[in-house]
Amino acid sequence: MAKPRRILIGTPLKGDLPAAYFKTSLQMATAAIPNVKLDWVILEGPAVQMARNEIVAYARQEKFDELLFWDKDVLAQRGGEDVTSSAIMRLI
C-alpha cells in the first residue's frame, strides 16, 4: 500500500478565527480521503507574510508533500450555503 500524501493546511493569523473556520476544519478532519493525511498549522505573527514564511519553513522541515494556505476569511458559498470544505477538498 502506498504511503499517504501528507498535506499541511497553513493559516497565517492576525486576529481571531471565525466559527466558520472551525466548522470547516472539523468537516475536513473527519472526511475520509483515500491516501491523504491532512495536518493543520495556525500561526500568529506580527505580519501575515512573516507567518506564511514560517509555515513554509515548517512544512519543509517536517517534509510535507504539499502545502495549502487557507486564510481565515476564505469562505465558499453556493446558494447561501457554506461549501468551503468541499471546495478545499476539490483543491486537494
Confidence of residue 31 (pLDDT cuts 50, 70, 90): confident
The pTM of the whole model exceeds 0.85: no
pLDDT in tens, 39-89: 999 888 778 889 999 999 999 999 999 999 988 888 788 888 888 888 888
The SS3 of residue 54 is helix
Cα 46 to the center of its chain, rounded Å: 20
Look up cell 476564505; give the residue: 74
